[in-house]
Amino acid sequence: MYGGIVIDRLVLNKDLFYYKIPRSLINAVQIGSRVAVPFSGKNELYSGFVFDIRKTPPHDTLKVKEISDIIEEPLFGKNIRDLFIFTATQYLLPLHFLVNQYIKTIGGKRLEKYIQCTTDLQKPDKSFQKTKGIKKELIDYLTENKICSLSSIKKNFGSTALQHIQDLEQIGVIRRISLKAGKTVRYLTLACGTEETKKMLTGMEKKLSRSASSIIERLENAKTHILDEKTLVRRIKYGRAALEILLKENILKEAPLLIQKTINTELQVPQFINGGSLKERNRQIIRQIQTGVASEGKALIIFPELALIERVEEEYREAFGDDLFVWKGTDKRNFIKDVNMMGKRVILATPFSLFIEISQLELIVVANASSRYFKQSDFLPFNALIVALKRASLEKTKLIFSSALPEDNIFFLMKKGLIQQEEKAALATNIQIVDMRSEFKRKNRKMLSKYFEDQMKNILEKGGNVALLLNRKAYSTFVMCRECGYVIKCPACETSLYYDKEKNKTVCPTCGYIANPLDICPRCKSPNIRYFGGGVQKLIEQVKDLFPDVPVIKMLSSGKASERKILDSKNYSRTVFVGTEFLVSHLLLDNVDLFGFISIDMFLHHFAFDAALNAIRVVSEVAGEMEGKEIIVQTYLPEHYAVNAIQNMDYKLFFEEELLIRKELSYPPFKNLIILTFKGKKNYETMENGLKFKKILQKEFGKEMEILGPSPAGIPKKGEYYFYEMSIKTNLTINKIRPIYLEFLKKKTVGIRPEVHLSPLII
């Protein structure tokens, strides 16, 4: 038998390494087991996860090494294994990359590297006679300890000792080995019935019998009948001795980390809950859990941002008390322990939790499902909605999507009848569209329209609060000479520099290059330098000019800690909040009386095929929170179909137009779209690699795919790196393209980042 292994903590462009399973381990090795395997030319032991077990390996058996040992019982089962493989396949990700990004920190026991002497270093040896300094001290240390950890050598002798270690290795007097280290906390449970336990207790010494009875009583009174050994013996006299006897006599046993039980047996149709504020949608979810989840069942609610978890935690805590587990980005092993062993039934977490084994999982909820942070990006290598659909189908788990309006894949599946919509009352909206072209004709060059100014004045005079969203941070977006048209650019990236007025510097938005602002044009020597465009800094300046005695609070994701925390508008009066889209998730809008989108066009003009969806999405999120209070949307494109839909928050009208356009242009969900970004230090070489891969695909698939590019990316250069993009539209399944892509990765001389948009019908 052979096992396909993902090596722990190694991010490689590789799926699996195959190892022979020795006879002694054939019945013990399972999918999800953590094993020790020899790796690299020196055959050092590494930890790895078992993803495949088969009778024959996919390559020459003469070169196959053996699994050395089992480190830990399975940390996931076949469904999670299949979910990893599905995600890696559909999003063009090597398994080693995906697995190590999501479960590399859940191992309890670890393998630590040690140095072992293979000979007596104190014997006369010409090579050691003249040794002095650190090398001599190191030899004495190795001689005294025989086996010592590499980490202890670094700690005692510094990083320079590593070169001496290599020298000693080359002459064969020491070798590197790996040993199990780091004791995992044991969780214990009763292993036998009452009669056997009583019989055992009567045969023990009196003092130990009392201690053993206390230990058993603690276990019986525990909610889950499982406790860690420290809790079991705390403040019990002779507790440790009694515990060891109970284990030896098999009265107690070590509880498995995972108890893989399922509840549902039939695939259920996913649901969509829309409308209302985040609070209202969460109340609906809480009711669904209270009425629809069995007493032993579990519910997983995933959020796109930790900030949203922070906003709703108190409400869930009131509903579920000690049954609630909230993951805030810390140790993933605690997630498994608390959920699977300590009886936590309701879990609030981020998308990584989709890859964690959860026993008796009955419900998955994707909260704020339309959020762009659930889609594939630099921070998330897959679309969480598609992966949630897949997990629900694998485990026959009930699935709910919740958001102010449906995401495009959700709407498409609703039209196909594959997702049920829970009908709710339409959003109470009061949205005013302001045509900024009229303001320009009236020679109003400010960022706020006259109507907006008047409404702000009325609200602030009554002591109300106002929030302004502008999805751009800088004071100005580019600096230009009005005489010759020269635009000041970054010398490294060739990106237009923006002006940061707070720092009085010109800054590159891509590589961070900083320079002093220019007074004279370097091309024509004219002093007629002007700052164009505008962001949050300029907006704040204009607000302060209009309302000098009104407090203004800036809210940016990249700002100071005070600008990044969640603010409750109930704690403020007669205040203006100004920020980017970050403001939507970090400001509670209950006491905001007027909300303004300074330029919805920034969303509409973003270079992405779903830019219009992003525009209506962010307005819908705000509309749900504002509950009928006025929202002003400023635009130079009032006739745009997305702006028309925003006017009445009519998402059906929006999707009717949006899907027609996408179908005509062969965009998802009608075809799969793959965007490959090629990155390299040499401009021509980067483009050439894109062209090579294009030729390979054209030769293999011909007219079955439409390939655009490679062409310079939206930001063609960042620092010393050049970027080219290539778009592929096809009805072919991704698993046909992936082997060719991974083969090309082995030969590449530049980096490649995939962005995959799938039709949801793949599930």
Separation between Cα atoms, residue 398 and residue 445, nearest integer Å: 53
For tokens 């063609």, the residue is 716
CA triple 131-132-136, angle to 5 deg:
75
Q: Edge to edge, what strands does the sheet with 34-39 contain?
A: 17-20, 2-7, 44-54, 34-39, 69-72
**CATH topology for the 2-104 domain:** GIY-YIG endonuclease (3.40.1440)
- With CA atoms as reference, report the closest residue to 488 among 458, 449, 516, 446: 516
Region of poorest pLDDT, from 166-180, 463-477, 742-756? 166-180
User: Can you tell me the mean pLDDT for 240-260?
Assistant: 82
The pLDDT mean for the chain works out to: 86
Domain pair 271-422 / 430-473+535-662, same fold: yes
Q: b/e per residue, 92-125, with b = 16+ CB within 10 A?
A: bbbbbbbbbebbbebbbebbbbbbebeeebeeee
User: Is the confidence at residue 155, as pLDDT, over 90?
Assistant: no
DSSP string, 456-503: HHHHHHTT-EEEEE-S--SSBSEEEETTT--B-B-TTT-PBPEEETTT
Q: Edge to edge, what strands does the sheet with 252-254 contain?
A: 227-228, 187-190, 252-254
User: Can you tell me the mean pLDDT for 43-67?
Assistant: 85
Amino acid at the residue 69? D
Confidence of residue 124 (pLDDT cuts 50, 70, 90): very low
Amino acid at the residue 304? P
Q: Are residues 363 and 346 in contact, defined by beta-carbon separation less than 8 angstroms? A: no
Separation between Cα atoms, residue 551 and residue 465, nearest integer Å: 10
Give the whole-number percent of the chain exceeding pLDDT 90. 43
Give the pLDDT confidence score for residue 505 in this predicted structure.
83
Residues with Cβ < 8 Å from 84, sequence gap 6 or more? 51, 95, 98, 99, 355
CB atoms within 10 A of CB 677: 17
Confidence of residue 122 (pLDDT cuts 50, 70, 90): low
| Interval 644-678: pLDDT, tens | 999 988 889 999 999 999 999 999 999 999 999 99
**CATH topology for the 271-422 domain:** Rossmann fold (3.40.50)
Separation between Cα atoms, residue 7 and residue 104, nearest integer Å: 9
Q: Tell me the range of 81-90, 130-139, 370-379, 479-488 where mean pLDDT is highest.
A: 81-90
Confidence of residue 121 (pLDDT cuts 50, 70, 90): low
Compute CA 174 distance to the chain's CA centroid, rounded to the nearest angstrom: 42
Domain boundaries, the chain: 2-104, 112-181, 187-254, 271-422, 430-473+535-662, 672-762
Give the pLDDT confidence score for residue 458 in this predicted structure.
96
Give the pLDDT confidence score for residue 54 in this predicted structure.
93
Separation between Cα atoms, residue 485 and residue 594, nearest integer Å: 39
Helix, strand, coil in percent for the chain, rounding step 5: 40, 25, 35
User: Is the confidence at residue 125, as pLDDT, over 60?
Assistant: no
Alpha carbon separation from 80 to 31, 343, 352 (Å, rounded): 10, 20, 12
- 96 three-class SS: helix
Separation between Cα atoms, residue 285 and residue 280, nearest integer Å: 9
Separation between Cα atoms, residue 755 and residue 763, nearest integer Å: 18
**How far apart, in Å, do the first and last CA atoms of the chain sit?**
31
- 591 three-class SS: coil
Give the pLDDT confidence score for residue 67 in this predicted structure.
92
- CATH 3.90.330.10 describes domain 430-473+535-662: no
Quick one: which H or E segment has residue 754?
strand 751-757
> Which of the two residues, 346 and 609, has the higher pLDDT score?
346
> Which of the two residues, 275 and 763, has the higher pLDDT score?
763
Give the pLDDT confidence score for residue 700 in this predicted structure.
95
| Interval 283-295: pLDDT, tens | 999 999 999 888 8
**CATH topology for the 672-762 domain:** Alpha-Beta Plaits (3.30.70)
Please state the three-class secondary structure of 5-40 as a single string. Answer: EEECCCCCCCCCEEEECCHHHCCCCCCCCEEEEEEC
Quote the tokens at residue 731: 């009805």
For tokens 């001389």, the residue is 749
Q: Are residues 453 and 444 in contact, defined by beta-carbon separation less than 8 angstroms? A: no
| Interval 4-32: pLDDT, tens | 999 988 888 889 999 999 998 999 999 99
